[in-house]
Amino acid sequence: MEAKHFETEQALETCSRSEEDLLLERFKQEQEQLELARKHFDDMEFQQLEVILLYHIIMSAVSFHAELAGLCLRSIMMLSSARLGG
C-alpha cells in the first residue's frame, strides 16, 4: 500500500496539468487508507498489550490465591495437630 502511494506521489510530481486533479484525488484517498491502516495497527497493538497485562494480573492473582490456600491448609493442619496432641 505504501509503495503504491509512493508511486502516486512520484506520478503527481511529473504529471501534466490535465492529470493532476485525478492523481491528487487518488493521492488523498491513498493517504486516508494508509492513515486508517496505521490506526487499526496501533489499535491492535494496544489491545495486544492490554491482553498481556491482563494475563499477568490474572497469573499474579492465581499465584497469590495458591499461596493463601497453602497457608490456610498449613494452619488447619497445625490446629488439627494441636487438637489431637493436646
pLDDT at 79 over 70: yes
Predicted local distance difference test score (pLDDT) of residue 18: 79
Instruction: Let me know: does 62 contact 51? Beta carbons within 8 Å.
Output: no
pLDDT at 86 over 60: no
Q: Is the pTM of this model over 0.75?
A: no
Mean pLDDT on 1-30: 83
Q: Evaluate the CA torsion angle 75, 76, 78, 79 in order and state its sign.
A: positive
